[in-house]
Amino acid sequence: MTRAESLSRRALLVSLATSATSSALGRTPYGGRLRLAVPWPITSLEPASLSDGFAALFASAAFEPLFALDAAGNPYPTLAEALPGKLESGCRLALRPGLKTAGGRALSGADVVATLARARSRGAVGLLGELDNPSVDAKAPLGVVFPRSSPDAVARALASPLLALVPRGFSPLAPDGCGAFKVELGSGRALFTRNPNGARGASFLDAIEVTAVTDLAELLRGFEAGASDVAWFGSGLYRAVKDASPFESPRYGFAVLMPGKAAGAWGAPGTLQALLDAVPAEQLSHLGVRGLPAQPSGSRAWGGPPTTIAVPSNAPQLAAVARALAASLSTPGHELSVVEKTASEIQALQSSRQFGLLVALVRAPAAHPREVEMALRTAASPEAAKRAPKTAPLAPRELGRHLPLGVVGELSVWGTRRAPFVNLEAWQLGGVSLRPPP
Amino acid sequence: MTVVALKSDRELPAPDALRERVQSAVSAALGARRDAKSRDARKLLVELSIEKVGGVLRVTAELRRRTGLWQRIRHAKPSSERHAFVEAPLDAELRALIPPPPLVVSEVLKLPAPERGIVALACGPLGHDGGQELALVSRGNVRVGRIVGGAFAERKRAAWSGLSVVAPAPLREPIASAEITADGTLRLGLTDRRDGLVLSRDLGVLERFEGLLPVPGGGCVARSALGLAARFGRCATSGSSRAEPVTLDAVAGSPLAPLGREAGSARLWGARPELSQAASRVGAQLALGDADTDGNPDLAYSSDTLEPAKDRLTFVTLDGRKLTPRFELPARGISAIAICSVREGPGMAPLVIATGDELWLVR
């Protein structure tokens, strides 16, 4: 069996490995409703976003990329019919026939071209840096031709969740993809329901209800009150809940500290990381931040001008991190204060860079170190990310010593879940199921 | 006409009755010709050798000239002038003379499977060379081969990618079926893939059923949103998208009866009356066959549990009124079961179980 064959054995083994009950016995039951709260605003679902916490957690539930990477880092086709085939110059890929979005829209090569074009102007700008613009194969509407790129480079790039396939005319306010769930967005809430057109299988759960909270305590209180099935960063605010199990999902992003023009020389590459490496872990760990240095090193005294740390409003975890950093880094005459900004204000600040410091999220689109590095480089400088060196990927905090941003720590969903929900740890939400009572 | 030998792999309760029955059947078949040439016929002798092997009866007939006095003194045996051979499965009449073997487990041979994740199995003579083979269906491949010296010896393999395109909306947890038919073809389907297939002995595609899953024993079922529509029909795309009230998540069958497992309740579903009376829930791995060739279908199924350690094979007979329990065999994480179509010895037809990374041959 060659790698060029569709849905390779490796792919199937991976899918088997991620499906706990595919090997036996009864069958994983369909049904159930998972309710959870998130410390992120819910306004849209943009698969190509690098800075949206809600997308970092839930884009994979509603969207699928054309390829995926196995445990060894090799790509395999998911929505593509096969791995890209080499042409005399460049390469060609084709979509699987018959694919439809949750909204019932048939997908073709033109949708692949449109997906890449819109992702290039968003979080995938670094990822697509050296890939040329593709075009639809004139002979086959499901085909896409990359005029100069190598098949391997195309497959690896298109395995990124940032390049998940969306239909032409896609709007993140009314998201429509071919993942396990279809999604309806409301004000501060989202409802994911089973997508029978799911290109890699409909979800086991009937639905996932997600609500946004503005206070970290609500993440625990809701679990204790029975309004939520997941408790973040603990097992209950006042008491442990019965029939609950601890769990931790893979990291979905990083809290980062970014410098603006007002930071002056303290915004130079490596400077912020040196400060953050000196912050004791106990000052941040209670806020759910992981991946903190075991032993702080160096000085954490901010020596730059008194300035503000901007942070997105309605993102209580980031706000708490910003407040903790302000308290830890401030020194007399070099005070830092926290100011909350709306999403549009943050966007304007990032464009103009007219701010002192900014605490933000950088999504970790996948677990592969190369993709994590590309995400951090893109967040630091989209233009520089296009020309990222091809050396071995660096660990996130190590990378912070070379970039004009500092990695505060890792973000993941950890805490407690109601015991009957199975496979939540992997955070592949289509594969989560509700175990029936004995 | 005389019966010169009667061999059996099991003790026969009434060997004389079997001799007489075979003798009379052959006499009846020869009767018309003997009357026509009665003078010549009196000079001829038909010698019958009867052998009962597994689920078949073999009869060999030798036509010799009768010996005269001088030849008898010389102990000269005349050479065979004509030779005939017939093999017949044990039908209802023969079963009255040859009782079926007990449905018990005397041996379990465990061998490594060529790959993990086998989702369907079939066992029977594939093609016309007479030997019984095993077909293993995983999400990536279809393999056929035999068990030789405690290992699976693969004769042929085909990747699914070369057999069918991926289904537009596959199931997250696949449903598969496989059957080696009486005419020696392999019928199989997998919900990961768009087409149900009929394959030749060399795994070439003979027929293709778009959007349908072949049911062992004949016919097909259509895909529904989260499983299979509970309507056994012809393997032709009807274009009708009538929603069936019941969804199946496993199918099995033999020419005697198709059946399935109802997805919601985990109970057996089918036309046979004893299925509706079965109270217990069953697992999603089913196999139907006639392991003792007694004419009643036998059903093997896994347990309805999500814990591999609690899984077991249960074997029952459908006798028209109820499910008669035969035996249970603890087996961790059964992913597919087959009942071989041919008995290979004095006991029941072998069962094959896929469990994790092993194949179990149960005899």
Count how many domains chain A has. Answer: 1
Whole-prediction pTM: 0.87
Cβ of A96 under 8 Å from any chain B Cβ?
A: yes
- In the predicted structure, residue A10 carries a pLDDT above the cut 50: no
Which residues in chain A have Cβ-Cβ distances shorter than 8 Å to B305? 25-26
8 A C-beta contact, residue B154 and residue B144: yes
Contact A26 B284 (CB under 8 A): yes
A161-183: string of b/e by CB count within 10 Å (b at 16+)? Answer: bbbbbbbeebebeebbbbbbbbb
A187-225: string of b/e by CB count within 10 Å (b at 16+)? Answer: eeebbbbbbebbbbbbbbbeebbbbbbeebebbbbbbbe
Q: What is the ipTM of this complex?
A: 0.85
User: Could you tell me if residue A225 is left (phi over 0), alpha (psi between -120 and 50 degrees) or otherwise beta?
Assistant: alpha
From the CB of residue A235, how many other CB atoms can be counted at a distance below 10 Å? 17
Tokens standing for A233?
């960063």
CATH: 2.120.10, 2.115.10, 1.20.950, 3.30.530. Which one for B108-362? 2.120.10
Contact B283 A25 (CB under 8 A): yes
Residue type, B282: V
- From residue B97, how far is each of B92, B234, B361 by CA, in Å? 9, 38, 29
The pLDDT value recorded for residue B131 is 86
Cβ of A3 under 8 Å from any chain B Cβ?
A: no
Residue type, A71: A
CA distance, residue B183 to nearest chain A CA (Å): 29
Residue of B nearest to A82 (CA): B161
- The domain at B2-97 falls in which architecture? 2-Layer Sandwich (3.30)
CA B292/CA B320 separation, integer angstroms: 16
| Residue A69 covered by a domain | no
The pLDDT value recorded for residue B27 is 86
CA A93/CA A140 separation, integer angstroms: 10
- Of residues A111 and B16, more confidence is placed in A111
> Taking CB atoms and an 8 Å cut-off, how many pairs form between chains A and B?
129
Cβ of A99 under 8 Å from any chain B Cβ?
A: yes
| Residue A93 covered by a domain | no
8 A C-beta contact, residue B166 and residue B191: no
Of the ranges A35-39, A232-236, B147-151, B279-283, the best mean pLDDT one: A35-39
Cβ of B226 under 8 Å from any chain A Cβ?
A: yes
Residue ranges of domains in chain B: 2-97, 108-362
Q: Using CB atoms within 10 A of its CB, is residue A344 exposed (0-12), middle (13-18) or buried (19+)? A: exposed
Which residues in chain A have Cβ-Cβ distances shorter than 8 Å to B336? none
pLDDT in tens, chain B (363 residues): 888 889 988 888 888 988 898 888 888 888 755 555 566 666 788 889 999 888 889 999 998 887 777 777 877 777 888 899 998 888 888 888 888 898 999 999 999 999 999 999 999 999 877 789 999 999 999 999 999 989 999 999 999 999 999 999 999 999 999 999 999 999 999 999 999 999 999 999 999 999 999 999 999 999 998 999 999 999 986 555 567 789 999 999 988 789 999 998 999 999 888 887 776 789 999 999 999 988 899 999 999 988 888 999 999 999 888 899 999 999 999 999 999 999 888 899 999 999 989 999 999
Cβ of A104 under 8 Å from any chain B Cβ?
A: no
Question: Residue B117 is nearest to which of A23, A98, A180, comparing CB atoms?
Answer: A23
CATH code where residue A348 lies: 3.10.105.10
Domain that holds residue A394: 251-413
Cβ of B174 under 8 Å from any chain A Cβ?
A: yes
Strand A189-194 relative to strand A207-212, pairing: antiparallel
8 A C-beta contact, residue B79 and residue B64: yes
Which residues in chain B have Cβ-Cβ distances shorter than 8 Å to A204? 172
| Residue A210 covered by a domain | no
8 A C-beta contact, residue B142 and residue B204: no
Q: Using CB atoms within 10 A of its CB, is residue B63 exposed (0-12), middle (13-18) or buried (19+)? A: middle
The phi, psi pair for B99, rounded to 5°, reads: -65, 150
Is residue B261 within a helix (H) or strand (E), and if so which, with residue range?
strand B257-262
CA A144/CA A115 separation, integer angstroms: 12
Tokens standing for A26?
């009864």
Q: What DSSP assignment string belongs to B114-133?
A: SSS-EEEEEEEE-SSS--EE
Contact A201 B303 (CB under 8 A): no
Spatial neighbors of A190 by CB under 8 A, at least 6 apart, are A42, A45, A54, A58, A183, A184, A209, A210
Cβ of B266 under 8 Å from any chain A Cβ?
A: yes
CA A223/CA A37 separation, integer angstroms: 9
CA distance, residue A30 to nearest chain B CA (Å): 8
Q: Where are the beta strands (DSSP E) in A133-243?
A: 135-136, 143-146, 181-186, 189-194, 207-212, 230-232
8 A C-beta contact, residue A342 and residue A313: yes
pLDDT tens, A121-139?
A: 999 999 998 788 999 999 9
| Residue A201 covered by a domain | no
The pLDDT value recorded for residue B70 is 78
Residue type, A325: L
Strand B56-65 relative to strand B82-89, pairing: antiparallel
Residue of A nearest to B267 (CA): A26
